[in-house]
Chains A and B, each alone.
Chain A
Amino acid sequence: MSSGVAVDLENITIRFGDFTAVKDANVNIKGGDFFSFLGPSGCGKTTILRAVSGFLEPSEGRVLIGGNDMAGIGPNKRPTALIFQNLALFPLMTVWENIAFSMEVAGASAKERRKRADELLDMIALPGQGDKLPSELSGGQKQRVAIARALCANPDVLLLDEPLSALDLKLRQHMRTELREIQKRVGITFIYITHDQGEALTMSDNVAVMKAGIIDQIASGHEIYDDPATPFVASFVGENNVFRGKIKSIDGGHAIISTNRSGDLVARITPAQVGNLAVGDEAMMFVRPEAFEVAPEQGSTGQNLVSAKAVNEEFEGNSFSVFLEGDGGKLIKMSVPNLGQDRISTQGHDLTLRYEPSNAVVMPAGELASE
């Protein structure tokens, strides 16, 4: 088992004519990492992947694989294997010929190729399906064949471009686990692209969150969720309630933000922005729906209390989503776990919500994800 090869992007900028698709990206991916690029459609994820696989050369900066500069080295010479967004299996070849295509290119005998293909078919749990055509497989099976075909070349780095986006929800969740297991088994570096944050958070060791060609944050899924570096990351990854205002005071790691609708509120300064906030700055505070609870003492005020009126309630199975209207009509979402006991609906009531200041983050104001 290989320990995986590191991939480094040094100050990568990629332009198409006047349009800058990727701007000054710096990414260091450890060998054996499951690394994801997460961002909305059109933010430049595929473009970065194509620069790593060698289908395009960055306008500026360097791509290093295992410490070697890849400039001028074509895709057929790089130790990477790319799984395309639409899989791109060869429809006129059988499944086993597809899987062993890289060996065919290298001149291996039909017998060797067949043997290796059968091994890989066992690994992807499709034994004995080698003589079928890709069109005779289901979506999930095609998916696995594409993975086997890429692994057959023994790449140091596997690049995956939203490979699960065409699958239905159940299969997608199943394939997430499967991909993660395959990655652990083969131990090579996986670079995974997705616009689905759930996918990025569950599978990856580390995630880079992108917005319009710029990488906003690179961290573990946990950190990205708990300590988002920018308002874009905070609003794109998971759900979040945003409160806008001006910084009133700063005390160590915490700040008080004075909002014009909910009064003064206290929150933790997000680690990436410590030192970047000053009194009087425009700021944004984020509280996740699950960080709110109904305060034990209703009607009181405080720096971690928000008053709002419950207007709507949605049942989500494991939880209830309660939508509340704060002062000035602002909508707040609170998530209440479904503990099974008889629950009194809060709909129509005026409530006081409470949050733990360490569960709220504050940062300089900025652009939000538009979704």
Chain B
Amino acid sequence: MKKMPFAEFFRNNGPVMGSLLIGLVGFWLIFLILLPQLSMLDYSFRFNLPPAELGGPKDVYTLSNYEHLLYGSDETKQSFNTVDLKVFVRTIIAAIIVTIFNIVLCYPLAYFLGQAKGAGMARLLVVLLIIPYWINEILRAFALRIIFGETGLLNEALMFLHLASEPIDFIRQDVALYAGLGYAYILLMLFPMYNVIESLDRNQIEAARDMGASWLHIHRRIVIPHAKPGIASGSTMVFMLSAGALAAPQILGGPSSLWFTQLVYQWFNDSLNWQQGAAYAIVLLVSTIAIVLTFMKIFKVNMGDIGK
């Protein structure tokens, strides 16, 4: 009985096309997702050895790369690696803040788009929101840098209106970074929310209103519970991608504020220590997954709802 879906799949697509499709999906899963990740996992438990010693007696599994993140050194465990750990915690907290910021910003918009009467106008608005995303992520980040720069649009405007006497350093204050991260993935929050809210029967809102419910009560009891799967799926994506972002922190981050992905990048690219970089990347991946699962548990979201 378990095989039934496959049998039907083959009947619908024919044996040749069916095998081809399944082969492609399998290729994608194995070669593009599973193998690279597994090799990263393998790397993270190995020493960074010169090519000559690979496969030699020194090429054994080790926890030293992980210990480095924790203690800053392979030998002593006297003090914690506060520099890198701080960056890690800061990245996670900032990603959570960006996610919350996106939820707060997108909810009213998604509600308006999903429940507005003039569907044509809502469609147009959605298209207008998508167009900026045809532009490359890096270009968008630079555009924001120009806006937030010392002689940028925003500072000029503030000075012109006499709201500021001298330019504000938005870059150093991380305002630009947060704005950039918030903007980078906002559509991934908006669309899942919009989809679920659009599927809410208007009559339910009216029925609640008819029974005397305030707007706040209606949102708390009717709209938000209905939208929960969409909020969860949007939040997961925004959180994961923000925590793993590289372009926005690189371009918009202040000189003193590092993002954890930048550390990973440095290990791979500057120090040419892939083993160390892989360990950092694995820690980030596992932590973000753990955090997402924890939040799903707290808010009672099922795994199946996320895909909606």
B212 near A86 with CB under 8 A, answer: no
Size band of the B side of the interface? 10 to 19
Given contact pairs A92-B225, A92-B226, A105-B217, A86 touches B203 in the complex (Cβ within 8 A)? yes
Q: Assess the B212–A82 pair: CB atoms within 8 A.
A: no
B20 to chain A, nearest CB (A): 40
- B211 — which chain A residues lie within 8 A by C-beta? 76, 81, 101-102, 105, 149, 153
B203 and A84 contacting across the interface, CB-CB below 8 Å: yes
Give the complex CA separation of A102 and B212 in angstroms.
7
Chain B residues contacting A225 (CB-CB under 8 Å) are none
Contact status of A75 and B222, CB under 8 A, knowing A86-B203, A88-B203, A88-B204: no
Report the count of interface residues on A (CB-CB < 8 A). Answer: 23
Please state if B208 and A80 are interface contacts (CB–CB under 8 Å): no
Whether A315 sits at the interface, judged by CB under 8 Å, is no
A153 to B206, CA, bound (A): 15
Is A320 close to B, CB under 8 A?
Answer: no
Q: Tell me, yes or no, whether A169 is within 8 Å of chain B by CB.
A: no
What per-residue 1/0 map shows which CB atoms of B221-242 lie under 8 Å from chain A? 1100110000000000000000
- Contact residues, B157-208 vs A (CB, 8 A): 201, 203-204, 206-208
Task: Verify B207–A88 contact, CB threshold 8 A.
Answer: yes
Query: Which of B204, B207, B222: most chain A CB closer than 10 A?
Result: B207
Main secondary structure of the interface of B (DSSP, over half): helix
Partner of B213, one of A55, A81, A84, A105: A105
Bound-state Cα–Cα, A36 to B226, Å:
34
Q: Which of B204, B212, B221 is within 8 Å of A153, CB to CB? A: B212
Contact B208–A101 (Cβ < 8 Å):
yes
Inter-chain contact B206/A90, CB cutoff 8 Å: no
A51-104 interface (Cβ within 8 A of B): 53, 55, 74-77, 80-82, 84-86, 88, 90, 92-93, 101-102, 104
| B210 part of interface (Cβ distance < 8 Å) | yes
- Does A106 count as interface, using CB distance less than 8 angstroms? yes
User: Which of A55, A74, A101 is packed against the most chain B CB atoms within 10 Å?
Assistant: A101
Shortest distance between the CB of A42 and any CB in chain B (Å): 18
Give the nearest-CB partner of B208 in chain A.
Answer: A101
CB proximity of A93 to chain B, nearest CB, Å? 8
B209 adjacent to chain A (CB < 8 Å): yes
Chain A residues closer than 8 Å to B212, beta-carbon distance:
76-77, 102, 105-106, 153
Asked if A88 and B206 make an inter-chain contact with CB atoms under 8 angstroms apart, the answer reads yes
A-B pairs with CB below 8 Å: how many?
Answer: 56
Determine the chain B residues whose CB is within 8 A of the CB of A85 once the complex forms: 203
Which of chain B's residues has its CB closest to A106's CB?
Answer: B212
A178 to B199 alpha-carbon distance, docked (Å):
33
Q: CB distance A76 to B204 under 8 Å?
A: no
- A88 near B213 (CB under 8 angstroms)? no
Which of A80, A90, A92, A104 is B210 in contact with, Cβ under 8 Å?
A80
Residues of B within 8 A of A74 (CB): 209
A77 to B209, CA, bound (A): 9
Residues A88 and B201 in contact, CB atoms below 8 Å apart: yes
Contact B201 A86 (CB under 8 A): yes
| A149 proximity list for chain B (CB < 8 A) | 211
Are A90 and B217 touching (Cβ within 8 A)?
Answer: no
Known: A84-B203, A105-B217. A90 touches B222 (CB 8 A): yes
CB nearest neighbor in B for A77: B212
Cα-based distance from A148 to B72 in the complex (angstroms)? 67
A286 to chain B, nearest CB (A): 39
User: B228: nearest residue on chain A (CB-CB)?
Assistant: A92
Which A residues are CB-close (under 8 A) to B221?
90, 93, 101, 104
A53 and B207 CA atoms in complex are apart in Å by 11
Quote the shortest CB–CB distance from B231 to chain A (angstroms). 14
B204 & A90 in contact (Cβ 8 Å cutoff): yes
A250 and B51 CA atoms in complex are apart in Å by 118
A93 neighbours in B (Cβ, 8 Å):
221
Query: Which residue on B lies nearest to A84, using beta carbons?
Result: B203
Q: Look across to chain B and name the residue whose beta carbon is closest to the beta carbon of A88.
A: B203
Interface residues of A in 251-269 (CB under 8 A from B): none
Given contacts A88-B201, A92-B225, A105-B217, A76 and B209 within 8 Å (CB-CB): yes
Closest to B225 in A: A92
- Measured between alpha carbons, how far is A68 from B225 in the docked complex, in Å? 37
Q: Is the CB of B204 within 8 A of A75?
A: no
Q: Which residue of A lies closest to B201 (CB)?
A: A88
Chain B residues lying within 8 Å of A153, measured Cβ to Cβ, are 211-212
B209 interface neighbour in A75, A86, A92, A106, Cβ under 8 Å: A75
CB of B197, distance to nearest CB on chain A (Å): 14
Top 7 closest pairs, chain A to chain B, by CB: A88-B203, A102-B211, A88-B207, A76-B212, A105-B213, A84-B203, A105-B212
Given contacts A76-B211, A81-B211, A101-B221, 16 further A-B pairs with CB under 8 A are: A53-B210, A75-B206, A76-B212, A76-B214, A81-B210, A82-B207, A82-B210, A88-B203, A88-B206, A88-B207, A90-B208, A101-B208, A105-B211, A105-B213, A105-B214, A106-B212
Chain B residues close to A by CB (< 8 Å): 201, 203-204, 206-214, 217, 221-222, 225-226
16 contacts between A and B (CB under 8 A): A55-B206, A74-B209, A75-B206, A75-B209, A76-B212, A81-B211, A84-B203, A84-B206, A86-B203, A88-B201, A92-B226, A101-B213, A101-B221, A104-B221, A149-B211, A153-B212
